[in-house]
Amino acid sequence: MRIADAPARARITADLHALADFLQTRPAVPVPEITRLELAYFPSGSDSDQIIEVDRAAEALGTVARWQGAHYVAHHRIGAAAYRAVAIPSKACRAHEALMSYHGAIDPAPFI
């Protein structure tokens, strides 16, 4: 995943502010009581490249990256909003691909 350059970053943050302003000025627009807004960054490259990038993001966020299951994650949460940098090692991708290879092989309808 490419990192946004300065103009793209400014556009994205302006869009987030605009959405917040839009919702603030339109109380008739339904907003669920339990909601989550997340900006996620998935670095590309080798496993070690991804981990290095997540560690860099963690440092910029002022936090420490940690393993969450098979993913290496740095995050910063502000209420219902969060930023996450996530490394998905190739082993986890292969496991997911193997699991998904069964998709469509079993019809769940008889069990419902």
pLDDT digits (tens, 9 = 90+) for 59-97: 999 999 999 999 999 999 999 999 999 999 988 878 777
In this predicted structure, what is the pLDDT of residue 25? 97
pLDDT digits (tens, 9 = 90+) for 18-38: 999 999 999 999 999 888 899
The distance from CA 21 to its chain's CA centroid, rounded to whole angstroms, is 23
What does the alpha-carbon distance between residue 70 and residue 60 come to, in Å, rounded to a whole number?
23
Backbone angles phi, psi at 34, to 5 degrees: -110, 110
What does the alpha-carbon distance between residue 76 and residue 39 come to, in Å, rounded to a whole number?
10
In this predicted structure, what is the pLDDT of residue 38? 92
